[in-house]
Amino acid sequence: MEDSSQALDYIEVEFRNGRLGYYQNTNNLALQPDDLIIVEVERGEDIAQIIHLAIHPSQIPALPEKPYGIKRKATQTDINKIETLEADEDKASGIFMDILARYPFVMKLIETVYQFDGNKLTFFFSADGRIDFRVFVRELANVFRTRIELHQTTGRDEAKRLGGFGMCGNQYCCGSFLKRFSQVTIKMAKDQNLAGNLSKISGPCGRLLCCLNFEEEFYVEEAKDYPLLGTCVMCNSQQMYVFKIDVLNKKIHLTDEDQVITEITLKEFNKLVIITTPEPESC
């Protein structure tokens, strides 16, 4: 017999610290996208914004181990409290930097976030390598008299938190609609003929652009009709090798021993005599 709690769809919410959470509307509250709600968390309660009203359990990477509930929709008093929290967070950031100045390590504070009920204070920072900050955390806990968490972020996390505009003129994908980071590899750049200058296909986070992942499937599918790089053919009465493929313009670039480039169409290439075809792994 199926568990009734598993049969219900989940509501996807985003907390002020950027973390995603999943809750079931067991009390049948009248909720809408973008509503602010007060929810149970591990240590008390927090405020979150609804971003999706119906997520099937199969679409959730990891279901909550403990079923926390939705307490209520946020009231105007709750919303006004956010302004107070923001002021407290600015003050906490200043205290954090003053205490940090007495320690030998270097940390860049990215963001400070209070849990809605004040039971937890999280500092997001970036640093080169790992840092042993146990003594530092104890001092912070003594000052703020609440649970302290230090969360070391990556360049991608920092870009998402700070926000900005990419070279395309739009807001960063990670800061607007992208919920989770997907792996972006240099192979994707090569598949799309973009591996020549990595600085032009890297974001402000220093990593390869997330949008390379969006079109990878198209390039891989289109490339099935094209020859492997390094394929040797007879063209213009001489041996040439496939140097580059351009699936958007449906062109193939050949090169000879003198590195002279010849550009032909896929239709023209299919009429040539293939001498040797390299193994996929060697390409």
- The per-residue pLDDT for range 192-211, each reduced to its tens digit, is 888 777 788 888 777 888 88
Q: pTM to 2 decimals?
A: 0.68
Q: List pLDDT tens digits, range 54-89.
A: 888 888 877 777 788 999 999 999 999 999 999 999
Partners of 208 in beta bridges: 202
Question: Which part of the chain is CATH 2.30.30?
Answer: 227-282
| CA-angle at 168, arms to 165 and 174, nearest 5° | 50
Decide if 79 contacts 72 (C-beta within 8 A).
Answer: no
Q: Which residues are 124's β-sheet partners?
A: 111, 151
CATH hierarchy code of domain 227-282: 2.30.30
For residue 134, what are its two tokens?
A: 């146990």
Residue 282: pLDDT over 50? no
Check if the beta carbon of residue 233 is closer than 8 Å to that of residue 216.
Answer: no
For β-strands 251-255 and 238-246, DSSP reports them as: antiparallel
CATH code for the domain defined by 79-153: 3.30.300
Q: Where in the chain is the domain with CATH 3.30.300?
A: 79-153
Q: How do strand 20-23 and strand 70-73 relate by DSSP bridges?
A: unpaired
